[in-house]
Structure 1
Amino acid sequence: MSAQPQTIAGIVIYHPDEANLLRLVGALAPDVREIVIYANSAVSSQDEESLRAAAQGTDLSVIRPGGNLGLGAAYNDLLDHATGQDASFLLLLDQDSLPPPGAIPRLAARHAQLAEAGEQPAIVGPRPTDWAGKPLQSPPGQGGSGNAAHASRVQFVISSGSLVNCEAARAVGPFRTDFFIDAIDVEWCMRANHRGYSIWIAEDVPMAHELGRGRIRLPFGLSPTDQPPRRLYTFLRNQLAMLRMNHVPLAHKARTLVLLPLRIVVYLGQNRFSREVRIALWRGLIDGARAELGPPETALGRSAHRQDNRATVFKRPR
């Protein structure tokens, strides 16, 4: 069965690069029933017209929440929309990814093959690569074999590019809105595993994806993502919050406790002990220990939010 009538694609945007977003919409259009843009930053009616033109006749709609509500709220609203349209699958994407042609039908086929093999897949994601095609670091394995479906079972996948089974998602429960950004996909996938579902990577479906501002290369193969202060805060805070959660594996908690001190030292050095980074890391430690979550602006202030907004504002094509 074609994936086209089953799948709705949801793209979460925040001050996207115009050319990249239009290219992404055009790439998705042949393989989905509808494309939904979740606009955490303003999209004018003229911008929307450009997006509709890029969709080449595929239905396209824009959800305007009236501000940046974070990724968890966006994913939940997109899932509600897909469920309301009786879609079998929701493809989650952000503006920094580009699936190859035919990726969506292939991900849907992996879902079907895994289900036929007796698995309960909640998500099948692509194999993320950098823009040069080099595979990014694999998440930890979860056990189980999907060899027949050219898939590997893992603890989690990155949300962008992942094909979510809508029925399974309703059973697993909503994405955490209080995390706002960072580790939302990790926590949800671990919760799905805990509740009897499974998370998979389709090894034969690569997808170019940009992580943060790039990678920080360290000895022994370590390469943490370089992030602005606002993202360092949410990363550290949310990882600490996950230490309290019963569905998070002990191995992940142990890895977090071992690597977080190293990450803090690396981020301080990478940013030359800047005041913004010191504040972000300190607040992340405090709020993570207290389980005080929510939008990062609550802790860091609006000035840090403005400094981290480095992306290009969407403009009309000329």
Structure 2
Amino acid sequence: MSAQLPTIAGIVIYHPDEANLLRLVGALAPDVREIVIYANSAVSSQDEESLRAAAGGTLLTVMRPDGNLGLGAAYNDLLDHATGQDASFLLLLDQDSLPPPSAIPQLAARHARLAEAGEKPAIVGPRPTDWADKPLRSPPQQRGSGDAVQATRVQFVISSGSLVNCEAARAVGPFRADFFIDAIDVEWCMRANHRGYSIWIADDVPMAHELGRGLIRLPFGLSSTDQPPRRLYTFLRNQLAMLRMGHVPLAHKARTLLLLPLRIVVYLGQNRFSREVRNALWRGLFDGARARLGPPEVALGRSAHRRNNRATAFKRPP
């Protein structure tokens, strides 16, 4: 049955939990034509056999890039693959999500009903929750006419769990590979809105998803995602880089400028002002202001190299 459906699921992995990944593959298999594992970390032949067994009769393909190329490059390669297979939709997933049964046909049906209502949906995503089924913070809403189809038009969605219209995606353009990770979905969705497409959340399709290492609760009902230093760097850098982009709404830019100082203070306090976090935030500010993008290891490694050189220069001989 799955071979007749026009959807391909792409799962981007990086050192995943094996049991969770097998469970995800098994859950997706009945509702898609093909499952593609984009392996940003090594997948052994034994692991591949286990994944194929979990997929049952559904085709499973493993794409092995040359190293960890990040999420943007992965999404672009998956989209090229789906387009080459004449798929109507690409379901984007990472290893920390689990859509409920029948989520994929529900999201595809929502695409169709929105199009019938005169909308141009580029993405329809599920309503993200934590593993206790508690809703995660919703993105800003947009004006739309989705009440009749139980959908809310939003400024952006979390990429994982989102069903992308392949034809619309070609018109919107590629995902930002130079962002590497963080805000790739936000920037792409804002670009889609700017080019006349729309982004939606299916109100009645929940999906469990894990954000970073959890949430840091702040006063006034605010929260921030707890992330390791490498992710703090890309988050800060990419948000600052988006301030230069004409398709990013002014309200989002204003919110970024207002909240970033608070987030920096929170991250410093959460990590007890560790050198690694201080360096990541400083590099994020510096590179974001200059729109100097790419893999985080390049910038963070460059800083570590300079520190080592300084330490060597001031070391006194015995």
Cα distance in 2 between the residues matched to 1:141 and 1:302: 40
Cα distance in 2 between the residues matched to 1:145 and 1:218: 33
**Structure 1 position 189 matched with structure 2 position 189:** yes
Cα distance in 2 between the residues matched to 1:56 and 1:107: 23
Which residue of 2 is the match for residue 156 of structure 1? 156
How far did residue 31 of structure 1 move?
0.2
Q: For 1:12-51, list aligned pairs within 5 A.
A: 12-51=12-51
| Amino acid aligned to 2:242 | M
- C-alpha spacing 1:277/1:142, structure 2 compared with 1 (3 Å): same
Cα distance in 1 between the residues matched to 2:302 and 2:42: 18
| Amino acid aligned to 1:152 | T
TM-score between the two structures when normalised by the length of structure 1? 0.94
How far did residue 145 of structure 1 move?
2.2
Which residue of 2 is the match for residue 310 of structure 1? none
On the 8 A contact 1:3/1:108 being kept in 2, the answer is no
Cα distance in 1 between the residues matched to 2:3 and 2:255: 38
Deviations 1:230-263 (A, max 9, x none): 0000000000000000000000000000000000
On the 8 A contact 1:4/1:31 being kept in 2, the answer is no
Which residue of 2 is the match for residue 282 of structure 1? 282
On the 8 A contact 1:217/1:224 being kept in 2, the answer is yes
Cα distance in 2 between the residues matched to 1:115 and 1:10: 24
Deviations 1:186-222 (A, max 9, x none): 0000000000000000000000000000000111111
On the 8 A contact 1:38/1:62 being kept in 2, the answer is yes
Which residue of 1 is the match for residue 63 of structure 2? 63
Q: Which has the higher contact order (CA 8 A, sep 6+)?
A: 1
Cα distance in 2 between the residues matched to 1:144 and 1:7: 25
How far did residue 102 of structure 1 move?
0.3
Q: How many residues align?
A: 304
How far did residue 151 of structure 1 move?
0.2
Cα distance in 1 between the residues matched to 2:120 and 2:97: 26
Q: Counterpart of 2:216 in 1: which secondary structure?
A: coil
Q: Counterpart of 1:138 in 2: which secondary structure?
A: coil
Which residue of 1 is the match for residue 130 of structure 2? 130
| Amino acid aligned to 1:218 | L
Cα distance in 2 between the residues matched to 1:198 and 1:42: 36
On the 8 A contact 1:88/1:165 being kept in 2, the answer is yes
Cα distance in 2 between the residues matched to 1:95 and 1:8: 16
Q: Counterpart of 1:241 in 2: which secondary structure?
A: helix
How far did residue 301 of structure 1 move?
1.5
How far did residue 120 of structure 1 move?
0.1
Which residue of 2 is the match for residue 209 of structure 1? 209
On the 8 A contact 1:110/1:124 being kept in 2, the answer is yes
TM-score between the two structures when normalised by the length of structure 2? 0.94
Cα distance in 2 between the residues matched to 1:57 and 1:274: 50
Which residue of 2 is the match for residue 313 of structure 1? none
Which residue of 1 is the match for residue 86 of structure 2? 86
| Amino acid aligned to 2:184 | I
Q: Counterpart of 1:68 in 2: which secondary structure?
A: coil
Cα distance in 1 between the residues matched to 2:166 and 2:20: 27
Which residue of 1 is the match for residue 245 of structure 2? 245
Which residue of 2 is the match for residue 145 of structure 1? 145
Which residue of 1 is the match for residue 170 of structure 2? 170
| Amino acid aligned to 1:47 | D
Q: Counterpart of 1:282 in 2: which secondary structure?
A: helix
Which residue of 1 is the match for residue 75 of structure 2? 75
Cα distance in 2 between the residues matched to 1:168 and 1:3: 23
| Amino acid aligned to 2:273 | F
How far did residue 79 of structure 1 move?
0.2
| Amino acid aligned to 1:168 | A
How far did residue 143 of structure 1 move?
1.1
